[in-house]
Structure 1
Amino acid sequence: MFTLKHLLILLPLIIISQSVHAQSGTVQWQPCTNSQFDNWFEDEPPEALLCGYVDAPLTYSVDAKADKVRLALTRLPATGVKKGSVVVISGGPGLPGINPFMSDDDIVAKLTQSYDIVGYDPRGVGQSTPKISCGVPGRERPVIDEHDISASEAQARKTLAACIKHTGLETLKHMGSDDAVNDLNVIRAALGEPVLTAVAYSYGTQIAALYAERFPQQTRALVLDGVVDLSEDDFTQQLNQARGYQQTFQRFAAFCAKHPDCPLPGDEAGAVEAFHGILRQVYATALITTDGDQVTADDVLLSTQSLLLWSDRWPELIALLHKVNAGIADEQVAGLIDENAGEEADDALSVISCADTAAPGSDTQLLRQQRQAIRAASPFTNYLKVQASGLELCDLWPVRGTLEAHVPVAAPSLPPLLLVGQRFDPTTPWVNARQMATWFKSPLITREGDGHTLVLNGIDRCVDEAVVAYLLAPREIRADKTCR
């Protein structure tokens, strides 16, 4: 996610006056049940949910043109007397954030009684406009063997050309985290909130942490769940994620071996070899579902990586591997593959990542060495031998990314944040949360278990109690806490 070869202290790239670019309390809220919002939701939205828009500048530079982005928002009003708003910052990058899910249990009800819950689609994402598009929907994209270097690189060039054609180069330049942080401040002002209260998940914690640095006096309370370490460059982040996933795969293999349908042995080397055998079998002869869709080896790998995150889904992963190993692509297999395909976020994920981290002209040999190190750190993913790495989309990006790795600096006026990390989270390793909590001089909640993001979702009562208590009274002195 970051490209700087060494760490530095990053001063705010863009300074915004406190007048920002939206007048206080200017969102024109309407019921989300109105027909104009029909395409916002797959399911019927809650009856009380309100929908609206906030306009923000495409770019916040001093000499910026008048071009705008329109951000889609939802608001679930407080059930009692309102004290403020909690903005939910989605992950990804590239995941929609309108109508965020929160548990309706008694713990979260203490928060929703007095706080509106506001969700939003980040710039370029979901119902916000202009929308990031590279032209071709996920399932219609040509299936390219990523192990064929020349074909993979050629497809990356085609994708870049399509992104520029369908989204526009000037828009692509401003789809990164730097502008998204300023959008968050515009949203705060448009909500009529003098200071921001927010809960951020995964990649969204990067936006929240940068906001805390840039706007300390406009910060009230920020919860960071599944924490991105701002000091890590893109290579370091990917390397640590690869190590984390390998550790989780090893934990899964030990669990799987105790199940009669498990096709993997309990030891790490044997589990990796057996898993590779399953993937190579599908690679040689793709499975076809009852609906006629093709299941590829990479589909199985992606679903495995997704299902590894939560130990309560490991039985489903066992069933997936058992059936795929037997050449079965039934309704359960098709459902798990589709669930984890992630097609809608593909374009936004790629574009936002490149807008953040692209370093055109980087040493190709160094890139190949780094990617080989990432592959070596996660052996279970390497079911085919790769001799070298071709250039990827961000390597071909026409402009340099605007985000640089740095050790964050907490201003004296910044109130305490609250960070949440799970001990065996492979996507955002626990050490990220520990390090960021130290730099921001803030307490850390550690959940002893597997998983990636959980706050206010009813997964762990101990965690949710601590989070709600913080959001209601963020200035109280708190110590680190462990939930088991």
Structure 2
Amino acid sequence: MMAAVAAEWLKLRSLRSNLGLLALSALPVLLCAGIAYMVVRGFDRQTGDDLLRFESLGTGLGTGLPVAYFLMAAAGTLSITSEHATGMIGTSLVAVPRRQVFLFAKIPALAAVTLVIGQLLVFCMHVATMAVVGERAGHVLIDGRTLGLSLADPGVTAELLVAGAAMPLAAMTGLGLGAAIRSAAGTLVTLIVLMFVLPIVAQALPSPMGPRIASYMFENLPAQIASGDGVLAPPVAGALLLAHPVAALTAGAVAIAARGRGVRPLLAGGLPAALLAGTAVVAPGAAASSALSWRPCGESLECASVQVPVDWSKQDGRTVTIQVARLPATGAHRVMGTVLAVPGGPGGDGVEDLRDKGGAFATLRQRFHVVSLAPRNTTDLGVIPFDCLATGPWITLPADRAAYDRVGARNRKYAEECRAADPEYFDHLDSASVARDIDAIRAALGEPRLSLVATSYGGVVATTYARLFPDRVRALYIDGSIDHQADQETRLRHRTAAVEQQFARFVEWCKTATACALNGRDAGAAWRGLVAAADRSPVPVRGSDTAYSGFDFKVAAAPDVISPGPAPDFPNWQRFARSIDRATAGDASGFADLVEQVTKSLKVPSFRGQNVTQCADGLMFADYGEFRRLKALGERLSPNFAGNELWHRLGCVGWPTPVGNPPAPMPADRLPPILGAGTWTDHGDVATAAARVPGSATIRYEGPGHALYLSGNQCVIAHANRYLTYLRLPPAGAACEPLQP
């Protein structure tokens, strides 16, 4: 056998066709560089969100890899067919009478040469591609991948090594087919069909069928082995990759043995080939087993329900039904798990979020199921009358202890009206109870861990879940959330700074915008003058007996100040300016009309549906002394909106139920790093919440708004998808810019 191997090594070195193939090995490198050049040219011509929609070049092997595999397979083919073409086969079989020994003696030398050349090729292809792409490689795309990958990126070296290690397998496939067909031309045509024609046909088929069929092709198997996130599991992809040369060599051995009247190679090689190929058929999927009975409930949406205890400390007691919705995964890849979207509010409905804004998850659904819920504190759930939860008392800013106590008495009266409908249920609407409901959903889904996407107040629920069930959190993305653990002073500083900065932007806009009703005047002075005058003598709402104090104006105006609407017109700022102008003339209807459209009340009420959760989560003043201290601090920090940030907390004064979910630290050492995202007005809160876990990061959106992912902000979605899919965080200081109009 050793003599036969040595002879084959000599033949391989002397075969002229191999020199030609060696020269052609530069072709895959040039192809990779050329494709990268065309992609870069197109990339450089795009702006804004269009830059996010490119396909990733990945490791840069792309089109060059199947060409490289073909060249290696051709080398294997020519090592046997050249002997048939020259008639040397007869001499070789005289020297090595055992035909299967003759065939398999070619493998060691062929494998060694193609392994070395193959590894050099894949690294050259990678380097050539990345040299062309340059710094653009790190640009994050909408699917969470980057335009290119460097050797420093996780998994890249492994993918290149596996791709190079597959080169000898391609060569052995060519060797086996060449032995079976005996014609160089016929074998090369067969290889062209296997390595080029069939993959192109598969790509032309509709998704997900096309990508699934393509995943079985030789060229796509190495990446699935290395990355583990392909259509096929790594063991299955590995078995299929080995099945190619085993099946080809079996066919070649059978052909040679048949001509020599032997049959044992068929038994020796056919059985392993069948077993390896069969692995792909019988391998179990990785999808979790769900106990939920899903039913269609809208376009692409599926619904189910989960029974949970009203009081989680009494799990054998009364239960309540939680509605759950799912946008099922749509991609050809194996499902990586479930992303659970936690709605904001408190009182928001995640089922309706998926129904109305589910398009934001379109790319993420290539890899995940997306699930949400209508939490137990959803205001229109029906257990407690919606009309009760959706209204509440008007809040005034107390001037002294007696006024503070009157606010508390009024709050208590209104809260007791709602509580009377169902005291047990009312007392368990805190975020910890919602978090435990989410864990019940996780268990029903059969998922060991969840990836959480939390919007606005949903961040309190999500961080509470992380505190209660840290080992069941795979990833945690918080968007526009508050920091539940922050002390009152920190929270006040963040919020007052945000609203003051936004008000300053409004004033600057008014100086140059003719659409501003205060253009040509000092808008800041006009606002402060209105507030001061209203505190002395409230401004009436025409046609009613309601009048606005300065505090009422601040509470009513804050939403328009914080969220001006689309640039460059900023319609909400235009409305704010008109309302100031009208109120300065003695009519507060501009503010009251807007408030009434949203709340059915002429002034902003303290919503009991929100308070029932916020108060139970401990977001309240400890006592009158803390209220006075924070009120004084706000007056120093916020010359234009002092008192506005106290409004929510004032709604909890006198609240009749105990705190069920007091702020408490998360076990940071047991949690993955958090990704946050925030706008001009909520970035500070989000950043401090995320920083509770070391190694976390927060994206800053350099513009107004709230709830960036559900709003469809493509830049933020790209970063979030990268984190949720690959657990990769953006660098410190990552920012997203608004699109230019």
Deviation string, structure 1 residues 184-241 (Cα, Å, up to 9, x no partner): 1112222232210221112111222222233232122221112322431345424532
Deviation string, structure 1 residues 86-122 (Cα, Å, up to 9, x no partner): 21111122222223243747xx532123433322122
Confirm or deny that 1:75 pairs with 2:340.
Answer: no
Contact kept, 8 Å, 1:121 with 1:127, in 2: the verdict is no
Task: Give how far 1:164 is off.
Answer: 2.5
SS of the equivalent of 1:102 reads helix
Q: Which of 158-167 and 313-322 deviates more?
A: 313-322
Amino acid across the alignment from 2:673: P
| Bigger-Rg structure (1/2) | 2
Confirm or deny that 1:338 pairs with 2:597.
Answer: yes
Gap change, CA 1:217 and 1:68, over 3 Å in 2: same
Contact kept, 8 Å, 1:250 with 1:268, in 2: the verdict is no
TM-score by length of structure 2 reads 0.51
TM-align CA RMSD: 4.0
Deviation string, structure 1 residues 141-165 (Cα, Å, up to 9, x no partner): 6767666937644422311321331
Aligned residue in 2 for 1:163: 418
Gap change, CA 1:303 and 1:99, over 3 Å in 2: same
Gap change, CA 1:301 and 1:365, over 3 Å in 2: closer
Amino acid across the alignment from 1:156: N
Aligned residue in 1 for 2:628: 368
Contact kept, 8 Å, 2:722 with 2:729, in 1: the verdict is no
- Could you tell me which of 418, 431, 437 is aligned with 1:183? 437
- Could you tell me which of 400, 403, 418 is aligned with 2:675? 418
Which ranges of structure 2 fall in alignment gaps of 5 or more residues? 1-287
Distance 1:30 1:464 in 2: 28
Gap change, CA 1:66 and 1:394, over 3 Å in 2: same
Task: Give how far 1:302 is off.
Answer: 3.9
Confirm or deny that 1:350 pairs with 2:611.
Answer: yes
Distance 2:329 2:530 in 1: 49
Alignment of 1:227-376 (within 5 A): 227-234=481-488, 236-260=490-514, 261-263=516-518, 270-276=525-531, 283-288=538-543, 301-313=554-566, 314-323=570-579, 325-326=581-582, 334=593, 338-339=597-598, 346-357=607-618, 362-374=622-634, 376=636
Contact kept, 8 Å, 1:201 with 1:227, in 2: the verdict is yes
Confirm or deny that 1:90 pairs with 2:343.
Answer: yes
Distance 1:482 1:375 in 2: 31
Deviation string, structure 1 residues 60-101 (Cα, Å, up to 9, x no partner): 22x555122322222223334571332111112222222324
SS of the equivalent of 2:708 reads coil
Q: How many residue pairs end up in the alignment?
A: 429
Contact kept, 8 Å, 1:49 with 1:76, in 2: the verdict is yes
Distance 1:175 1:204 in 2: 13
Confirm or deny that 1:55 pairs with 2:311.
Answer: no
SS of the equivalent of 1:222 reads strand
Give 1 or 2: higher helix fraction: 2
Which ranges of structure 1 fall in alignment gaps of 5 or more residues? 1-22, 33-45
> Percent identity between the aligned chains?
26
Amino acid across the alignment from 2:459: T
SS of the equivalent of 2:700 reads strand
Amino acid across the alignment from 1:50: E
Amino acid across the alignment from 2:624: T
Gap change, CA 1:264 and 1:70, over 3 Å in 2: farther
Task: Give how far 1:333 is off.
Answer: 8.2
Distance 1:145 1:421 in 2: 30
Contact kept, 8 Å, 1:302 with 1:341, in 2: the verdict is no
Distance 1:176 1:331 in 2: 36
- Could you tell me which of 400, 405, 411 is aligned with 2:663? 405
Distance 1:359 1:54 in 2: 32
Distance 1:367 1:65 in 2: 41
Contact kept, 8 Å, 1:91 with 1:201, in 2: the verdict is yes
SS of the equivalent of 2:722 reads helix
Gap change, CA 1:477 and 1:449, over 3 Å in 2: closer
SS of the equivalent of 1:248 reads helix
Task: Give how far 1:28 is off.
Answer: 3.0
Gap change, CA 1:210 and 1:267, over 3 Å in 2: farther
Distance 2:718 2:351 in 1: 24
Amino acid across the alignment from 1:79: T
